[in-house]
Structure 1
Amino acid sequence: MNKPLQYIAICLLIAVIFTSCRSTQRVIEEGKVSTKLSAKDVIREHSKREVDFKTLQGKVKIELTQNQLQQGYTFNIRMEKDKAIWLNAPLGLARLFITPEKVQFYNKTDNTYFDGGYALLSDVAGIDLDFYKVQNILLGQAIYDIKAEPHKVSISENSYALQPNEQDALIELFYLINPSHFKLDSLQLFQQTERRMLQVDYGTYQTLDKEILPENIRIIAVEDSEEVVITMEFKSLSLNEDVRFPFRIPSGYEEIIIK
């Protein structure tokens, strides 16, 4: 997988800003799947769990594994829901800023930057990306409007397996939904012709101000025989405080060109 796809993967991850050690509790998963629930029942319960907040801030530890090499970083992270996501490395060595209009990133360690829209990133990633899909992936919600088309449901171990009645010819989509809190256990996207796969696994959830939010997330991105794995852990986070998003690409940096 080429270097720009690593940046895309990080962009998909940084919006998960959910936990506060002072006020969170782990969700205890006691529910069991029921054969009596229809696909519409599962969709309705899942839709009720959409997270409601204004701002989030704190720290996130991200570990990336590629070609048997592992790198770990801890970032400051800020977010205004539906408007902005900001990530800052220690000493300001790297900074990323995402809005619904564009994605911006710079890295002081190699004097490079990226400044572009989602259309270009979508072409490279092979997934139709936008700001709101990124949010949903990282909030444990379905990335498409599951009320807009018929779905069918089955049981996979102790999850509800939800999929469209008619899969897209280019991308197969599957949701595994938890029977306790009806958030995602897993999101799976397959592009057989391109030999690509994206899987987002939600290890545990917790509650913060009555909201159910991911606690640990693991993302696996595969292209041909190459695999990138990213895990995230969130610490010292708080809700609904005033936040700022300082961002300016330094002069003289070389632009990252995605082809």
Structure 2
Amino acid sequence: MEIKKPLLFVFIVTLLISPYSCKSVKGLDADGTVNENLTAKQIIKENQKQEARFKTLQCRLKIDYRQNEDSQGYTANLRMQKDEVIWLNATLGLARVMITPNKVQFYDKINNQYFEGDYALLSKLLGVELDFFKVQNMLLGEAIFGFDGNYESSVNENKYVLHPKEQSAVFELFYLLNPAYFKMDSQQFYQPLTKRILQVDYASYQEIDKQKVPLNMKIIAVEDTDELNIELEYKSVSLNEEVRFPFNIPSGFKEIKLDETD
């Protein structure tokens, strides 16, 4: 996972690990108390009851990005059609991203370039195998890898902690759930052999049209001594309105060809 990347990757990675929220809305009360008698299966069942159910989403997004001593800010519009399309448009249309279950597309008017491809290199970048639905789960504050297999539960700092009963030697997974409404407080992925960490923290949630969705979040990606932090502020969130996903690569743009060393 090479963290140092040009605008293309900062923009796409920001999209891929950015659930929607709205700072102007008061967050849900998170002061629940854990029930230590609940089993892992019961906790998972309660979490799945909170799965987001909507057709479309749109909002404005302020992004603050920091890597070591470098920091930048972006403003963008985010639109989503559940299970089909995720679309991000930078201010003044200077850059645009659209991902579907089959393709990742991007163009950048600042450098007159574009990218079309699959999830392979993005998976390498984050150190986590990605597809459209894993990305969507991340966007919605839901378990990125689902709950296939057997899970164990414990309690730590008034949170439910779920992890596979048999962790992989090369990849460790932890889900931390809030006891007040059984949504994700944090999703954490460790690759000890390569010293990679990806952590997505959901600081608070809000309720929009009876849906519990993320309010504020922070993403931390670490490889060895390199660290990338992204903080997000979302505004004007709306659900189930008609949305469009315009995407046409301008003529004359140069295609970005990426390989393992990029």
Q: Same fold (TM over 0.5)?
A: yes
* 1:20–1:208 Cα contact (<8 Å) kept: no
| Match of residue 236 from structure 2 | 236
Alignment map for 1:128-167 (pairs within 5 Å): 128-146=129-147, 148-167=148-167
Q: Which moved more, 1:221-230 or 1:107-116?
A: 107-116
| Match of residue 208 from structure 1 | 208
Once the two structures are TM-superposed, the CA of residue 250 in structure 1 deviates from its matched residue by 1.7
Identical-pair percentage: 52
Q: 1:8-54 CA deviation, whole Å, 9 max, x = no partner?
A: 4223134x335496xx5521112111211111111111111110000
- Secondary structure of 2:16's counterpart equals helix
Provide the aligned C-alpha RMSD in A: 1.7
- Secondary structure of 1:3's counterpart equals coil
Q: 1:156-200 CA deviation, whole Å, 9 max, x = no partner?
A: 101011100000222100011000010011000001111110000
- Secondary structure of 2:179's counterpart equals coil
Alignment map for 1:32-181 (pairs within 5 Å): 32-146=33-147, 148-181=148-181
Q: Which moved more, 1:107-116 or 1:224-233?
A: 107-116
| Match of residue 219 from structure 1 | 219
Once the two structures are TM-superposed, the CA of residue 134 in structure 1 deviates from its matched residue by 0.7
The count of corresponding residues between Structure 1 and Structure 2 is 255
Q: Distance in 2 between the 1:163 and 1:97 partners?
A: 32
Q: Distance in 1 between the 2:23 and 2:216 partners?
A: 13
- Secondary structure of 2:60's counterpart equals strand
TM-score calculated relative to the size of structure 2 = 0.92
| Match of residue 10 from structure 2 | 6
CA shift in 2, pair 1:20/1:29, >3 Å: closer
Q: Give the AA of the match of 2:77.
A: N
* 2:159–2:178 Cα contact (<8 Å) kept: yes
Q: Give the AA of the match of 2:168.
A: D
Q: Give the AA of the match of 1:73.
A: Y
- Secondary structure of 2:173's counterpart equals strand
Q: Which moved more, 1:211-220 or 1:5-14?
A: 5-14
| Match of residue 17 from structure 1 | 20
* 2:23–2:233 Cα contact (<8 Å) kept: no
Q: Distance in 2 between the 1:8 and 1:126 partners?
A: 15
Q: Distance in 2 between the 1:142 and 1:222 partners?
A: 20
Structure 1 unpaired stretches of 5+ = none
Structure 2 unpaired stretches of 5+ = none
